[in-house]
Structure 1
Amino acid sequence: MSSDYSARHLSVLEGLEAVRKRPGMYIGSTDSRGLMHCLWEIIDNAVDEALAGHGREIEVVLHADQSVEVRDQARGIPVDVEPKTGLTGVEVVFTKLHAGGKFGSGSYAASGGLHGVGASVVNALSSRLDVEVDRDGKTWAMSFHRGEPGRFADAGTPDPEAPFTPFEQSSSLDAVGKVKKGVTGTRVRYWADPQIFTKGASFQIEELLGRARQTAFLVPGLGLTVIDERGEAPETHRFHFEGGISEFVEHLATDGPVTEIWRLTGEGRFTETVPVLSEGGAMIPTEVERTCEVDVALRWGTGYDTVIRSFVNIIATPKGGTHLAGFEQGLLKLLRSQVEQNARRLKVGNDKLEKDDILAGLTAVLTVRLPEPQFEGQTKEILGTPAVRAIVSSVITKQLGERFASTKRDDKAQTSLVLEKIVSEMKARISARTHKETQRRKNALESSSLPAKLADCRSSDVAQSELFIVEGDSALGTAKLARDSEHQALLPIRGKILNVQKASVADMLGNAECAAIIQTIGAGSGRTFDLSAARYGKVIIMSDADVDGAHIRTLLLTLFFRYMRPMIEEGRVFAAVPPLHRIVVQNPGSKPNETIYTYSEAELNGVLSTLKRQNKKYQDPIQRYKGLGEMDAEQLASTTMDRQHRTLRRVNLADAENAGRVFELLMGNEVAPRKEFIVDSATGLSRERIDA
C-alpha cells in the first residue's frame, strides 16, 4: 500500500450513488429484511398521508413478476416545479436525498417519515420504478432506472429489462390520462435491483400481513388491503379496525385476563433547539416548543409472558427507546408505591419489586406522537428524543395512579388482583433465586423428594434418558415390563389432570398430578423454568388411543405450553403412537403366524385388501386396542417403546401466538367461542371418526 494520503484519495459519492454503494446504511441489510424495509418506506409515506387526514384506503399488491405496488387515495405527490431545483415534485421526492414535506413545512404534524430519504433510497435500489400521480384532473407518470429518470421502451407490459433511455437535457413528467375532478392519489410500483439484493431475498407475506394488521390497529378507520398475485390464485387480505390500540391489545393477548384493557392517555410539552431553514436558505438554530401525545393500552393476564409493542408516529420501535424506558419507569415507580402502601395486606416484608415482576403477564401497546422525533439510524428501531422519557413516565404515573385510587368496585377489584399477581411473581423470583443458590441439582439416587410412583431410569445421561407419562396404573404395570430400565423412566398419572388454562398458578401447583410432573422433570415452571436443569432428554406422553386418551394428551400439552414451554420449543416433548389394531395372519402348516400392527382405519383397510388379494387368511375378529393395558409387555415394547421399532410424534411450536389462541379457544374460560367453533366444525366431522 502507498504511504502517501492526500485529498485526491478521497471519494465523493454524489446523490443516489452513495445509496447504491452502501445500501446497508439506509436499509439495514440486503437480504429479505432489507427488501421488506424498502416496502415499509413506501407504505409509510401513504400511511403518513392517512394520519394527516387524507385518504382512508391503501392497497399493496405483490405482482407475479416480483414487483410490488403501493396505491393510495391521498393528495398525490406534488407535480408542480420546485423552485430551488427546477425539478417537479415527483422527481425531487424520488431522486434527492433529504427532500420531502416532513422538514417543518407544515404539511405533516407528526409523521413516520423523517429523513426524507425513504422514497429516493427505494428508487436507487430498484432496477425500475414507476410512479403515477392523480392530481389536477390528470394522471401524471414518470419512470426511473436505478434512480435515474427516463423512459422504458416496453410494449404495454412494464419490464425492467426493456431498453431504457435517460433524460438528457431536462426531465419530463408526462400526462398519460385524465381523472375526475377531485380525484387524487399515488401509485408506486418498483422492481428490486438483483445487483443489490441477495439471490434468495423475497417479500415475506406473513411479515407484510402482520405489518398491515398492525398499522390498521394504530390508525383506526384506515383500510389496508394486501393482494398477493404470486401464487396460482390471487390471495386478498383486508384489515380495518375502529377500536384502535385497545383492539390491538386484545389481539396480542393470549392468556386469560386479570384486568380489563386499561387506556391511559395524556400529553406533555418540551422545548428543543433545532436548525430551521430560513427564507434565505440558511440553517438557523431555533428553540421550538413541541407537544408529545401519549396513548397506552394495557392489561395484565394470568400468564407470565410479556408482550409490549411500542410505536412513534405509528412506526414500530422494536428495540424501544426513551418512550419505552419512560413507560417502564412510570410503571415501576407507581406499583412500588402501591405495594408499599398495602405491604401488610400483601405480606411483602422488606423485599422490593423489580421490573420483571411487574412486566410478567403484561400485554401493552405504547404509542407516542410528536413532530420530528430523533431516531437512532434510518431504520428507526430506537427512539432517541430525551424529553419523551419524562413525559411518558409522568402520564403513566398520573393516569394509572387515578385507576388505583378509584373507589369504583370493578377498579378496586382489578387493582387488588394486579398487586397480588406482581407480589406473587416477586416471591416466586426470590424463592427461585434462593433455591438456586442453596441447592445443587440432585440425581434420582440422592433425591428423596421425587414422587413415590415414579419408576426412574438408572442412567444419569440426560441426552439418552426418556420420561414416559403413562395414563393409569394398569398401563404402568405393563410398561414397567416393556421398558428399557436403563434409559426409560415411567410416571403414571391418574386420569385427567387439571385444566391449567382455566386454573390459577396456585391451583396448578396444588394439583398432585401437575406438581408430580413438574417435580419429576426438575426444571421448575413458568418464568423460573431452566431447560438446562431438565432431568430427561425426551418427555413422551403415552395415552390410550381413544377420546379420553386424546383429552388427557391435550391437557398435558396445555400444562407444558403454559408452564414448561421451552421443552416444546426445543422439540423435547413427544406423543407416543400406539397401534390401533392387531392382525394375526394365519400361515399354513407349521409356519408360525405373522402379526401385523396398523395405526389407522385407512391402513387397516389397505392391509386387509392386500391379504385378500394374496388369498391369506387372518384371525377374526381383529383386535382393536382401546387402551395400553390391553397389550402384553412384549407387544407394548415392540410397537410403542422399543427405540428400534416405535413411532413418535414430535410436538412442534412453530407459532407460539397462534398455538396460544388455539389453547385458549379449546381450553379457556370463554365458552361462547368454543361453542361456535364446535358448531361450525360439526359439518366436517365424520361419525366414523368418533370412537364410541
Structure 2
Amino acid sequence: MTAEYSAHHLQVLEGLEAVRKRPGMYIGSTDSRGLMHCLWEIIDNSVDEALGGHGDRIDVVLHRDGSVEVRDRARGIPVDAEPRTGLSGVEVVFTKLHAGGKFGGGSYASSGGLHGVGASVVNALSERLDVEVDRGGKTWALSFHRGEPGEFAGQAPDSAFTPYEQSSRLRQIGKVPKGVTGTRIRYWADTQIFTKDASFAVSELEQRARQTAFLVPGLEIVISDERGDEPRETSFRYDGGISEFAEFLAPDAPVTDTWRLQGEGTFTETVPVLQPTGAMVPTEVERTCEVDVAVRWGTGYETVTRSFVNIIATPKGGTHQQGFEQGLLKVVRAQIEANARRLKVGNDKLDKDDILAGLTVVLTVRLPEPQFEGQTKEVLGTPAVRQIVSSVVSKGLQARFASTKRDDKSQTSQLMEKIVSEMKARISARTHKETQRRKNALESSSLPAKLVDCRSNDVTDSELFIVEGDSALGTAKLARNSEYQALLPIRGKILNVQKASISDMLSNAECASIIQVIGAGSGRSFDLSTARYGKIILMSDADVDGAHIRTLLLTLFFRYMRPLIEDGRVFAAVPPLHRVVVQHPGSKPNETIYTYSEKELHTLLAKLRKSGKKWQEPIQRYKGLGEMDAEQLASTTMDRSGRMLRRVRMTDAESAATVFELLMGNEVAPRREFIVDSSDRLGRERIDA
C-alpha cells in the first residue's frame, strides 16, 4: 500500500480480460452455479433461434473429458465479415462483448440473450472452445484458447496452440447439402477460473431443459450424459404450452381448472439506436409486450410460481410478477367483498398469502430488449411491464368471475370459499399462538385430556405413539416407558383430509387433537422447531382397517405437517401378526417366535417341521393390538431394544395421498377405471377375513 495515488495506478481492462479478472460480475459465481450459467448462455442462443422458428431440436452432450457440446439446426452464426471490425461474424460473437443480433437489428423479435456478452463470456472462461457452423453448403470452424483465436495441434484442450498473429480466419473443414444449417459449440471450462468441485448437474440440466420445452412448444431438447459407466440420454418435447406446465408443477388436487389469461399492451421508451454511421442516437420507440399466464388453484396451501421473460426464468421476480400480484389481489378482493354476506367474511381482512395459498402460476411475458438487473437476468426491471401485466390479469380474471357458464360459476365459488377458509385458518392460528404466549406457568395446559404424556422434556429423545382405540391404549400404558414415550389414542378412522376443507379439518376432534399435541401448528404456520416430540409413531392394528387408519394419518401429515415427514420424524410401528410357541422336550422352556407376514409364518413352520420341532396349536393370530398383553406389546412393538419401526418417507406419503385421491376423492371416473383394471388381481388370500 502506498499513499501515492495517481492516474498511472488505474488499470484499464479491455475486452475479455475484464471477464477473466471479474468473472463473478458476468456469471454470478465460479462454482457449479456459474458453470451451469455458462452452459445456459450457449443453450439459450439456440433456444432464441427456435423461438424465431429456426430449428426444432437442440442436443446437449456432456463428454467424458469434461467438455460440453451444444448442437442446433438453426440458421448458423454468420460467417461473412462484419463491416466495422472486418472480422468474421463467428469471431465477433465469441470475442467482442456486447456484440450480436439482439440489439434491435431485426434478427430477433424477442430473445433471452440480450446483453450480447453470453457467448464471449463463455469463450473467455474456457480453456478451449471449438465452434463449427454449417452455412452456405460448407462447414466452417474456428477454435479459441482462453478467448484468443488460433489453431490446436490435437483434440485435447492442452494440445499445442498457435494463435493467429496477423489476422484470424475461418477454416473450411467440410461440405454439407444445400439448405442444411446449424451450429455446434464444444468447450472445456477453464480450471484456472472455476473451483475444483464445480461440475455439471444433470438433474438441474434436465429440469431446465424440461422447463424450456414446456415454454417453446414443438422444440425437442435432448440431454446426453456420457460421463458415467452407462451413458444416458433424456429427451424433452411438449406440444402443449404453459397450461401443461402448470398442471405438471401443481403439487395438489385441483379446485379450479387451469385458466389462461392472455393479452398485450404497448409502451414507449427512449433507447440509444445504432445508426449506419456508427453513432448511437437516443430514439423514442414503441414496444409491444405480450402477456401469457396460466393459473390454477389447488386444495393445498403451497404457492408455486414460475415467471419468465422471453423464456428466460426470473426466479427473483421483477416488474412482471409485481403486476401479476397487483391485478390478482385487486380482482379477488373485489369479488370477496361483493360476496361477503354469502361467504360470512365479517370484518376480517384478506391477506395476500390467503389468495396465493394453493396457487400454481406460470407467468410469461415477451418483449424486445427487456431491462434486467445484472447479466444473470434473475430480475426484470422494465417499469412499464407492471401495469400491462396487471391490466391483462385483471381483465382475464374479471371475465372468468363474470362468466355465466356452469363450470366457471362452480369453480369461482369454490375458489372464493377456499380463500375465505385460508383467511379464517390464518386468523385462528394467530389467535391460538397469541393465547399460548399469554399463558403463564400457573395456568393449566390446553392439551387434550386423553393424552398420556411422558416425563421427559428432551424433544430429541421423546416419542409420541398415536394409538388406534382405547383397548390398545390400556395395554400400551403398561407396555410403554413413561420416561420418554407418550400416548395419544384416536377413535377409529379420522377425517379424510384429502377432500375436506381446512375449516372441516380444524373442527374435526381427532385431527385437532393430533395437531394440538404435536404443538407445531399446521399448514403454512407449521414450525418444525416447536414440535414437542422427536418421533411420531403410528401404531395401528395389523389388518385392513389398521392400514386404512395409517393411510388416513399419513394423508393428514402429508397435507398439513409435511416438514415432519421431510425431516424423517414420522414412523409406522410394525406389530407382529402371529405368535408361535415352539415346544421343547424335557425341562427346557418353550420358545416364543413372532412373525410379521403370512409368508414369514409358512417359512418358519416349514423350517420347524424339517427340524422335527413341534409348536402349540392353534397359532395365535393377532387381529388387533388389544389382543396382546403388555409384555408382548413392549417386546415386539414399543421397547427400543427389540422393536422394528418403518420410517415414512416423502414417497410413502405422496403415494398415500394419491391413493386417497383415487379411492376417496371427488372424481368418480378414475376410481371406476382402477376397480375394473385391478379386479383380476384380487384373490381370496388378499382379503383379511
Alignment TM-score, normalising by the size of structure 2: 0.92
Question: How many residues in Structure 1 have an aligned counterpart in Structure 2?
Answer: 688
Report if aligned partners of 1:583, 1:618 keep a CA contact under 8 Å in 2.
no
Q: Helix, strand or coil for the counterpart of 1:131?
A: strand
Counterpart of 1:511 (choices 508, 511, 514) is: 508
Q: Mean Cα displacement is larger for which, 37-46 or 650-659?
A: 650-659
Return the match for 1:524 from 521, 524, 530.
Answer: 521
Q: 1:491 to 1:616 in 2, by over 3 A?
A: farther
Q: Take 1:145 and 1:683, find their aligned partners in 2: how far apart are those partners? A: 65
Alpha-carbon distance, 1:203 to partner: 1.5
Given the alignment, which residue of 185, 191, 196 partners 1:194?
Answer: 191
Name the SS of the counterpart of 1:479 in structure 2. helix
Distance 1:26 1:685 in 2: 61
Pairing 1:619–2:615 present: yes
Question: C-alpha separation between the residues in 2 aligned to 1:210 and 1:20?
Answer: 29
Instruction: State the match for 2:96 in structure 1.
Output: 96
Partner of 1:294: 291
Which 10-residue stretch deviates more, 273-282 or 545-554? 545-554
Question: 1:639 corresponds to which residue?
Answer: 636
Q: Describe the SS at the equivalent of 2:506.
A: helix
CA distance in 2, matches of 1:658, 1:536: 25
Q: In 1, Cα distance between the equivalents of 2:584 and 2:496?
A: 49
For 1:149-188, list aligned pairs within 5 A: 149-154=149-154, 158-188=155-185
Q: 1:383 aligns with which of 377, 380, 383?
A: 380
1:319 aligns with 2:316: yes
Aligned to 1:67: 67
Is the 1:343–1:349 contact (alpha carbons within 8 Å) kept by the matching residues of 2? Answer: yes
Are 1:131 and 1:141, in contact at CA under 8 Å, matched by a contact in 2? yes
Deviation at 1:646, TM superposition (A): 3.0
| 1:536-555 mapped onto 2 (5 Å cutoff) | 536-555=533-552
- The reply on whether 1:358 has 2:355 as its aligned counterpart is yes
CA contact under 8 A between 2:418 and 2:501: conserved in structure 1?
A: no
Does 2:567 match 1:570?
Answer: yes
Give the secondary-structure state (helix, strand or coil) at the position aligned to 1:81.
Answer: coil
State the 1:161 CA deviation: 2.9
Q: 1:62 and 1:544, CA in 2 relative to 1: closer, same or farther beyond 3 A?
A: farther
Moved more, 320-329 or 269-278: 269-278
Q: Distance in 1 between matches of 2:18 and 2:532?
A: 56
How far apart, in 2, do the equivalents of 1:67 and 1:464 lie? Answer: 49
Is the Cα–Cα contact under 8 Å of residues 102 and 111 in structure 1 kept in the other structure?
Answer: yes
Counterpart residue number, 1:32:
32
Cα distance in 1 between the residues matched to 2:657 and 2:191 = 39
1:82 maps to 82
| Secondary structure of the corresponding residue to residue 198 of structure 1 | coil
Distance 2:607 2:151 in 1: 68
Cα deviation for residue 118 of structure 1 reads: 0.9
Q: Does 1:233 align with 2:241?
A: no
d(CA) in 2 for partners of 1:20, 1:689: 67
Residues 139/674 of structure 1: CA separation in 2 closer, same or farther (3 Å cut)? farther
TM-fit CA distance, 1:79: 0.9
Structure-2 separation of matches of 1:322 and 1:111: 18
Range moving further from structure 2, 166-175 or 67-76: 166-175
The offset of 1:359, in angstroms, is 0.6
Aligned partners of 1:441 and 1:533 also within 8 Å: no
Q: Describe the superposition over 1:169-216 as per-residue Cα deviations: whole angstroms up to 9, x where unpaired.
A: 222211212111111111112222222222222221221111111111
Match for residue 46 of structure 2?
A: 46
Q: Deviations over 1:192-244 (max 9, x none)?
A: 22222222222212211111111111111222222222333332222222221
Question: Take 1:4 and 1:638, find their aligned partners in 2: how far apart are those partners?
Answer: 81
Q: Is the 8 A contact 1:327 1:389 kept in 2?
A: yes
SS in 1 for 2:71: strand
For 2:657 and 2:109, the matched residues in 1 are separated by 39
2:303 maps to 306
SS in 1 for 2:379: coil
| C-alpha displacement of 1:600 | 6.3
| Separation in structure 1 between the aligned mates of residue 194 and residue 84 of structure 2, nearest angstrom | 34
Question: Aligned AA for 1:135?
Answer: R
Spell out the pairing of 1:164-563 with structure 2 (5 A cutoff): 164-440=161-437, 447=444, 449-563=446-560
CA distance in 2, matches of 1:19, 1:593: 80
What amino acid maps onto 1:144 in structure 2? F
* CA displacement 1:340-364 (0-9 Å, x = unmatched): 2222222223332221111111111
Specify every segment of 5 or more residues in structure 2 that has no aligned partner in the other structure, as ranges. Answer: none
| 1:48 CA displacement | 0.4
Tell whether the 8 Å contact from 1:312 to 1:367 is kept in structure 2 after alignment.
yes
Write out per-residue CA displacement over residues 139-175 of structure 1, whole angstroms, 9 at most, x where no aligned residue: 1122222222222222xxx422333222222222112
Cα 1:12–1:664 change in 2 (3 A) is farther
- Name the aligned partner's letter for residue 24 of structure 2: G
Shift of 1:452: 3.9
What is residue 109 of structure 1 aligned with on the other side? 109
Question: Partners in 2 of 1:437 and 1:61 — Cα distance?
Answer: 56
Return the offset for 1:504.
Answer: 2.4
SS at match of 1:75: coil
The answer to whether the 8 A contact 2:215-2:242 is kept is yes
Letter in 1 for 2:173: V
Q: Which runs of 5+ in 1 are unaligned?
A: none
Task: Give the superposed CA RMSD.
Answer: 3.1
Taking the aligned partners of 2:456 and 2:441, their CA distance within structure 1 comes to 9
SS at match of 2:437: coil
Residues 134, 183 of structure 1: 8 Å contact kept: yes
Distance 1:612 1:65, change over 3 A: farther
- The amino acid of 2:524's aligned partner reads R
Counterpart CA distance in 2 for 1:317 and 1:366 is: 10
Instruction: Please give the alpha-carbon distance, in whole angstroms, between the structure 2 residues aligned to 1:7 and 1:603.
Output: 86
Once the 2 structures are TM-superposed, how far is the Cα of residue 607 of structure 1 from its aligned partner?
A: 7.5
Shift of 1:442: 6.6
